[in-house]
Chain A
Amino acid sequence: MAPLGFHWLTFLAIVVTAATIVAAIIWAILAKPRRENEDGA
């Protein structure tokens, strides 16, 4: 049984959501900014 009475596989959904937020922040920091022209493309 996972925290707060969750079934472990159900609790994993919450863990996946939190991990996605962290992954998005890390990706945004690490993704290489590319040289852009004046229009930003």
Chain B
Amino acid sequence: MELSRNLVYLLILGCYLVAVVAIGLITGRGAKKGSDYFLGGRRIGPWVTAFSFVAAYYSSVLIIGGGGFGYKFGMASIWVGAINVLVGCFLAWAVLGRRLRRMTHRLDTITVPGFFAERFGSPSARLFSAAIIILFLTIYNVAVLKGMGNTLEVLMGWPYWLAVIVSGAIILLYVAVGGYLAVVWTSFVQAWIMIFGLIFLTVFALIQVGGLENLNASLAAINPGLMKTPGVWGWAGLISYCLIVSFGVWGMPQLVIRFYSIKKANLLRIGTVLAVVGGSVALLPYLNGAIARVLYPNLAELYPNVPQGQLADLAIPTLVKNVLPSWAGGLLLAGVVAAGMSTFAAILIIVSSAVVRDLVQKGLRVKMSERKLVMWGRIVSLAAGVVSLLIALRPPDLILVITAFAWAVIASTNLWPILFGVYWKHTSKAGVLASMISGAGVALLWQALAKIGWKPIVSSGIHGFIPGIIVGLLTLIVISFFTRKPEPERLKRAFARNTPYPVTRRNIP
């Protein structure tokens, strides 16, 4: 029975992986310019933009880790999914989408650090942002790869190293060859697999637990705090986690780059609805984690060799194994791997563009033809992926600690400069640079002090992202008021309307 289940998993997973490579290679052919390789030539439709956004947003960390939160904290954790939909999908698209699309096109910029340089006239902001992106996203990718490896290890019985190498090598193949177009098209397919996998799991798990009413009653019987909000989690932990995984999205380059690449700014209206509807599956992993708490209250008995702190992460794999028929389990497994692959691939392109375009071509002023830009884009994508893969094979403790900081540091660096860049003409380059450095520094310091167990911070339960963005916001506003705003010519280029695109110095209205 076990063999046949594994065989079905293997067949479905194998079909999925072959399909992904084929889609990646077919859709990603023919990149001739840097903007083709890094941005798909700005010709992506709303469906692909929206669902590839959802896939890149929800990595395997959401499905496995979200299930773990549901298991530990119960029903209060579905608030994280609800805020993901409201702030991470709807508001991010409605507030940033069209302005960022128009402005980056006018300024003819294809990366997030590049936007800072063109909008604020600050090469230093470009370099700082690019350095943070390269360092912390590469490390974040280690966590994504590790999540995929652990899932395949538990569900397929593969050795961890094999699981990491297989999933990593396949992504590297299609990203290096196909670039951004391959990433968004494979992500589009991966989003659907993830959505259907989660819906199947939820339906089967709810049947098993006897419906929502029975679930709530059973959770209350274990601990009344498991069905209440904030319940056993507490307000500080719940709110700061909701904010970091939702508002933090506004500063994540692999997500906001979707707004750069959509075919027409007006199509973002359709994209917003699609991203919100697709993104609403975010509630399901948390709900399933809570169901697992009722069905398997003693995971330690099932996994005697797993350390106590890691047991909650096995809630979803255990549910999949015991609740789903083989074919649906295979689909969910493919969904988890899909979620990880789409995030990993999206990050590779961003890291590659930050190195080649922002550091080498613009920062060091190395002259490169468009053909060479694409070639180096491919090489650096491959290299960045190999680095993450090698680290993921045996991640040092320090790297695992930093992965927990990565999201907070990147978001604290980029969030305000992006938001204020598209809305507030008075934002100065000194304000932006100071906001980036102070935001990233405070987030990093806060998390480091929490890690070494400094009591006031640990007992507050607040994530470093919160002080990071507060300090970053204040710094940006205060310093922008007291320093010179960008020259009028630059502002006209950025905010010009009804002019030929991209706006150059010659055709400023």
Which chain A residues have a beta carbon within 8 Å of chain B's beta carbons? 4-7, 9-10, 12-14, 16-17, 20-21, 23-25, 27-28, 31, 33-37, 39-41
* Seed contacts A21-B280, A37-B499; 15 additional CB < 8 Å A-B pairs: A7-B75, A9-B228, A9-B229, A13-B78, A14-B78, A16-B82, A16-B83, A17-B283, A23-B90, A24-B272, A27-B94, A28-B272, A28-B273, A40-B265, A40-B267
Pairs across A and B, CB under 8 Å, 19 listed? A4-B211, A6-B75, A6-B212, A7-B231, A10-B75, A10-B76, A10-B78, A13-B79, A13-B81, A14-B78, A16-B85, A17-B85, A24-B273, A31-B94, A34-B266, A36-B264, A40-B42, A40-B267, A41-B501
Asked if residues B216 and A5 are in contact (CB atoms below 8 Å), the reply is yes
Q: Which residues of B contact A17 (CB under 8 A)?
A: 81-82, 85-86, 280, 283
Is B101's CB within 8 Å of the partner chain A?
A: yes
Asked if residues B273 and A39 are in contact (CB atoms below 8 Å), the reply is no
Which chain B residues have a beta carbon within 8 Å of chain A's beta carbons? 42, 75-76, 78-79, 81-83, 85-86, 89-90, 94, 98, 101-102, 105-106, 211-217, 227-229, 231, 263-267, 269-270, 272-273, 276-277, 280, 283, 498-501
Chain A binding surface SS class: helix
Q: How far is the CA of A31 from the CA of B268 in the complex (A)?
A: 10
Chain A residue with minimal CB distance to B229? Answer: A9
Asked if residues B85 and A20 are in contact (CB atoms below 8 Å), the reply is yes
Asked if residues B269 and A28 are in contact (CB atoms below 8 Å), the reply is yes
In the A-B complex, list the 7 residue pairs whose CB atoms are closest, starting with the nearest: A40-B264, A5-B216, A41-B105, A9-B229, A13-B82, A24-B276, A28-B269
Q: Which residues of B contact A5 (CB under 8 A)?
A: 212-217, 227
Chain A residue with minimal CB distance to B498? Answer: A35
Q: Which residues of B contact A25 (CB under 8 A)?
A: 273
CB distance from B276 to the nearest CB of A (A): 4
Q: Which residues of B contact A27 (CB under 8 A)?
A: 90, 94, 269, 272
Q: Which residues of B contact A33 (CB under 8 A)?
A: 266, 269
Q: Which residues of A contact B217 (CB under 8 A)?
A: 5
Q: How far is the CA of A14 from the CA of B280 in the complex (A)?
A: 10
Q: Which residues of B contact A31 (CB under 8 A)?
A: 94, 269
Given A37-B501, A41-B106, is A6 in contact with B227 using a C-beta cutoff of 8 Å?
yes
Q: Which residues of B contact A36 (CB under 8 A)?
A: 264-266
Asked if residues A28 and B270 are in contact (CB atoms below 8 Å), the reply is yes
Chain B residue with minimal CB distance to A28? Answer: B269
CB distance from B209 to the nearest CB of A (A): 12
